[in-house]
Amino acid sequence: MTEATHSFPKLAALTARFTNGAPTSFAVSSNGQRIAYLQSTGPQDSAKRLLLRELSDPARAVVIADPAILDAADARISADEQARRERLRESGTGIVSFATDTDFTTATFALSGALGVADLQAREAQLVSVTGPVIDPRVDPTGKHVAWVADRSLYVANLDGSDERCLAASTGADQSWGLANFLAAEEFDRIRGFWWAPDGQSVIVEEVDESGVQEFYISDPTTPSATPRRVRYPAAGTPNPVVRLWLVSIDGHRSQLTWDTSKWEYVVSVSWTPFGPALVVLYDRSQTNSVTLVVDPDNATTQVLSSGHDDQWVSDLPGTPCWDSQGRLVTTQHEAATEGIAIAGRPVENDLGANVCAVIDVAEEGLLLSVAPSPTSSALLFVSNEGDQTWLTAADGFHTGTWSGGTLVTASTSLESLDWDRALNTWSPGELSAQRVTSLESLAMRPPVTLHHELISVGSRELNTVVIWPANHRPGSARLPVIMNPYGGPHAQRVIEVGRAFALNQWMANQGFAVVVADGRGSPGRGPEFERTIKGDLATPALDDQIDVIGGVAARYPEDIDPNRVGIVGWSFGGYLAALAVMAAPEVFHAAVAGAPVTDWRLYDTAYTERYLSDPAVYPEHYEASSLLNRAANLTRPLMIIHGLADDNVLVAHSLQLSSALTAAGRPHSFLPLSNVTHMTPQVEIAENLQLLEIDFLRRALNTLTTSDDAAADSDA
């Protein structure tokens, strides 16, 4: 291959897919005068620093805490912290998160397992000696104490490390305090395990008892002498961990928040703000029922505030339920085609009829919402306490941000752009629009490609699709082989108006392919009904929609698309869908690369799998219909399976079982095991060469396919 071919995968790997050096994790003080965020020094530096800007001098960024200066040489990252970062898909190093007090005078962070405390007024930081390795240190809202987790126990101390005490001590490897359990972090996007009271005198703490969860072992075959790592993994149909919440005062007094843990197994969210008492959302095991509890901080008793039911599954928008500054409850409002919010039971409508994606911030003046004017776009909308609404960004493109005290930080891009425009703005309720103050410079590398793509809607369901063409392709000049690159499953959306999201697809296309990315049923963005059509069958709707898409794309571009040379590649659910495609529809899909695929849904976790396929003991037919193992004998197309041996999310047992079934059926295939690789594949050499191997496999499989080969495969199928 040419040096140019190698350049993009290498650069993508070295720069964490061109994210190193970008400013992230913005926080704005309540008066809007200070903005804190994280940023590394450049494209090949993964170590994030804590930076601060003052509204009085917005163009100047001050480095508050720099891992290269702070000495954390004797500290270490614990296995629990590594697992936490895996759940977050965090590939960065250095300071990967921070917390501030209400007045924005203090920030706390972990650095290589050490406790960092930053004085935001003096603009300096230091490492404080406490029990470690430190996980998720959080300063209390009043700025007097810091709490953190070490060795699965919860500690608290003064900011200088004095008066340290253990508030809740773990009794062993199967019990933890203050850590989000695996299911909460992986499937409910809850990464926190303790929450400060607004007055800083107590915390709500999560206790997890995993003793009843089955044991799995993850080994390193490249080092036979190494002891396998034991994990507690709640596979579908097996016991979940027992999760409890406790109200713990900083002097050590502890009271349990009580509910029927046998009925309500999932602690989905906890919220405790100055605007009202703590709220706890619980789901039952089937996830068809939910309840919101309100906590009395004086005696730790709870009352049911509201309940919900959905025949398919219940869900709440991120940031809900919550109190607004008027003490009114903000909840998720579901309709068949739209998702929104309600305040005190009254639905909030906007003039574009846009789906609400999240409640981002709750301020004294109102709510900042992330909304989707179209299924592929994202915008910011502010709703005042009086109900007035202001669009803070354009309706087209993709915009995120945060707001507080008259200061708005935005990050904006579009489908045509490879850049994010990050800006510091001023805006207050009553003003028509935000006023830009300064840009926030990114030090990230711009992907070295030029986009050649189209956003279209195709198929009988008008599915949102992006088609990416080679840079040198002229319409009608050649019928190109195709690479389908979907995720295709629930809880993830690939087709969004973010050009940078398609940089890798553009490089793939430049190797001589038309690349097609499409969101089918089950993906978010088009309302609850569109998502919930996959209930009971993860295979058929997902595959049918990709078949529909390739048919629609081929019909739309008959002189540019070769429907007899279609490959499909994906990771995780996308890997499952890729393997399914060549086994169940070889007449449509002619080669596949399946990365970290789920092959038997009985082996995947309870919260995700049972949400969509229900209890395997009650509905075994759902699992049979969605399994890949019983389709192994149908394989007639080239299939490459890739899996990390250290994956604790989709265990390598999935791919090993599929490979064994294919071998038993006499079906040739390729299997690429990745030593010491998790679900993220963060290692530079592996991330780089994986892309090259995938492209080489698909090029050989599709470019050598002849008409007679195609006919023979169809005949065998």
Distance CA 438, CA 423 (A): 6
Q: Are 489 and 549 in the same domain?
A: yes
Greatest CA separation for the chain: 78
Domains identified in the chain, total number:
2
Contacts of 343 (CB under 8 A, 6+ apart): 324, 328, 329, 330
Q: Are 493 and 613 in the same domain?
A: yes
Domain closes at, from 401, 417, 444: 444
Domain closes at, from 412, 444, 476: 444
Q: What is the pLDDT of residues 162-209, one digit of tens each?
A: 999 999 999 999 999 999 999 999 999 999 999 999 999 999 999 999
Distance CA 413, CA 398 (A): 5
Distance CA 21, CA 47 (A): 9
HEC string of 117-178? EEECCCCEEEEECCCCCCEEEEECCCCCEEEEEECCEEEEEECCCCCCEEEECCCCCCEEEC
Give yes or no for a contact between 500 and 413, defined as CB atoms under 8 angstroms apart. yes
Q: Are 608 and 583 in the same domain?
A: yes
**Is residue 85 in a domain?**
no
Distance CA 151, CA 476 (A): 62
Q: What is the pLDDT of residues 46-104, one digit of tens each?
A: 999 999 999 999 999 999 999 999 976 666 788 889 889 898 888 889 999 999 999 99
529: left (phi over 0), alpha (psi -120 to 50) or beta: alpha
**Is residue 145 in a domain?**
no
Give yes or no for a contact between 75 and 112, defined as CB atoms under 8 angstroms apart. yes
Per-residue tokens: 660 = 């064994």
CATH number for the domain harbouring residue 591: 3.40.50.1820
**Is residue 53 in a domain?**
no
Question: How big is the CA angle at 319 (ends 313 and 320), to the nearest 5 degrees?
Answer: 55
**Is residue 692 in a domain?**
yes
Give me the pLDDT at residue 74, please: 60
Q: How many CB atoms lie within 10 A of CB 610?
A: 24
Q: Are 649 and 533 in the same domain?
A: yes
β-pairing, 47-54 vs 93-94, is: parallel
Residue count of the chain, please give it: 717
Q: Are 469 and 617 in the same domain?
A: yes
Distance CA 194, CA 254 (A): 14
Give me the pLDDT at residue 73, please: 61
**Is residue 66 in a domain?**
no
Q: Are 412 and 464 in the same domain?
A: no
**Is residue 579 in a domain?**
yes
Give me the pLDDT at residue 36, please: 98
Give yes or no for a contact between 77 and 112, defined as CB atoms under 8 angstroms apart. yes
Kindly report each contact of residues 630-633 with a partner whose C-beta sits within 8 Å and lies 24 or more positions away, as own/partner.
631/580, 631/583, 631/584, 632/583, 632/658, 632/661, 632/662, 632/664, 632/665, 632/667, 633/665, 633/667
**Is residue 479 in a domain?**
yes
Q: Are 385 and 461 in the same domain?
A: no
Nearest to 628 by CA among 667, 679, 590, 675: 667
Q: Are 668 and 636 in the same domain?
A: yes
Give me the pLDDT at residue 487, please: 95
Domain closes at, from 427, 444, 461: 444
Q: Are 484 and 627 in the same domain?
A: yes
Q: Are 629 and 550 in the same domain?
A: yes
Q: Are 488 and 562 in the same domain?
A: yes
Give yes or no for a contact between 405 and 54, defined as CB atoms under 8 angstroms apart. no
Nearest to 601 by CA among 618, 615, 581, 589: 615
Give me the pLDDT at residue 72, please: 67
Written as one letter, the residue type at 657 is: Q
Give yes or no for a contact between 697 and 689, defined as CB atoms under 8 angstroms apart. no
**DSSP single-letter state for residue 192:** B
Q: Are 368 and 488 in the same domain?
A: no
> What's the domain range around 334?
328-444
Give yes or no for a contact between 500 and 418, defined as CB atoms under 8 angstroms apart. yes
- b/e map 84-108, b = 16+ CB within 10 Å: bbbbbebbbbbbbbbbbbbebbbbb
**Is residue 2 in a domain?**
no
10-residue stretch averages of pLDDT, the chain, 717 residues long:
61 94 97 97 96 96 96 75 89 94 97 96 96 96 98 98 97 96 96 97 98 95 91 97 98 94 96 97 98 95 95 97 98 91 95 93 97 97 97 97 97 98 97 96 96 96 97 96 95 95 98 97 92 96 98 98 98 97 98 98 98 98 98 98 95 98 98 92 82 95 61 36
